[in-house]
């Protein structure tokens, strides 16, 4: 395989354990409004920008999530989890980032999190210093599964998409990276790999720790 020259990371569910708290916050908030959200709908939100999530959930529940105060309550529940417990860093993330930093490999985060929240999460997790660039869904017209965010990251890093390894945990993230012409590697979190993911990825690993030897070999070509 062709040597890669940069590594692009998703954030939520890949570097830090925020997908499970998000799912709990959606379900808890819905219950407080006398509603329920099924697991299939929540799985479809993973990797999407918050504005898309609000539109999808609002349509499903039949309420305006912002006007009703739903999102204010969601934010309180979601963020209070991190205030109590901190943000859990995924196994293998720090050793991999340290190895890439030592090798001076360009590293970026592409995340559907909002612009102000993404750096805060990375800072709380102690990972902010490992990245040259953070690109959020607010900076592109179309969010994952469209390729825009990955293409913008490659442009800002001055690298070709085909020279980038893209690490993702979600279906929408893998789809976006593939459509951008990058080399997707999936490290599943809440979503199990399906046949589509097997077709779109060049490798799948159970953790960043397991993926590290492969990633380092890909830097050598």
H/E element, 183: strand 183-186
Residues 6+ apart with CB under 8 A from 72: none
For residue 91, give the H/E element and its range. Answer: none
Determine the pLDDT at residue 113. Answer: 82
User: How many C-beta neighbours within 10 Å does residue 186 have?
Assistant: 27
CA atoms within 13 A on the CB side of 129: 4
CA distance 14 to 49: 16
Question: Containing domain of residue 61, as a range?
Answer: 19-85
Q: Both 123 and 179 in a single domain?
A: yes
Look at phi and psi of residue 10 and say left if phi exceeds 0, alpha if psi is from -120 to 50, else beta. Answer: beta
Structural domain includes residue 1 = no
Domain boundary among 85, 101, 129: 85
- Model pLDDT, residue 207: 97
Q: Distance between CA atoms of 91 and 15, rounded to whole angstroms?
A: 8
- What are the 10-residue block averages of pLDDT along the chain, 221 residues in total? 94 92 93 95 88 94 96 90 83 98 97 84 93 93 94 97 97 97 97 97 98 96 75
The answer to whether residues 100 and 208 belong to one domain is yes
* Residues pairing with 134 in the sheet: 109
Among candidate residues 60, 85, 110, the one where a domain is terminated: 85
* Domain count across the chain: 2
pTM of the model: 0.88
**Residue 49, pLDDT score:** 83
């Amino acid at each position: 395989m062709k040597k890669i020259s940069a590594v692009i990371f998703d954030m939520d569910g890949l570097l830090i354990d925020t997908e499970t708290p998000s799912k709990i916050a959606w379900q808890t908030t819905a219950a407080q409004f006398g509603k329920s959200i099924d697991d299939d709908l929540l799985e479809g939100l993973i990797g999407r920008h918050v504005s898309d999530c609000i539109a999808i959930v609002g349509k499903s529940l039949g309420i305006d999530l912002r006007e009703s105060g739903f999102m204010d309550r969601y934010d309180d529940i979601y963020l209070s989890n991190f205030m109590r417990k901190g943000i859990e860093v995924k196994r293998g993330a720090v050793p991999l980032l340290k190895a890439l930093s030592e090798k001076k490999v360009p590293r970026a985060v592409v995340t559907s999190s909002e612009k102000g929240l993404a750096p805060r999460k990375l800072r709380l997790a102690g990972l902010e210093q490992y990245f040259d660039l953070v690109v959020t869904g607010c900076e592109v017209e179309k969010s994952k599964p469209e390729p825009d965010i990955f293409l913008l990251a490659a442009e800002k890093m001055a690298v070709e998409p085909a020279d980038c390894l893209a690490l993702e945990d979600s279906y929408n993230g893998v789809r976006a990276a593939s459509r951008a012409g990058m080399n997707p590697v999936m490290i599943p979190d809440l979503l199990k790999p399906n046949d589509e993911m097997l077709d779109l990825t060049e490798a799948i690993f159970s953790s960043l720790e397991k993926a590290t030897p492969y990633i380092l070999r890909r830097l050598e070509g």
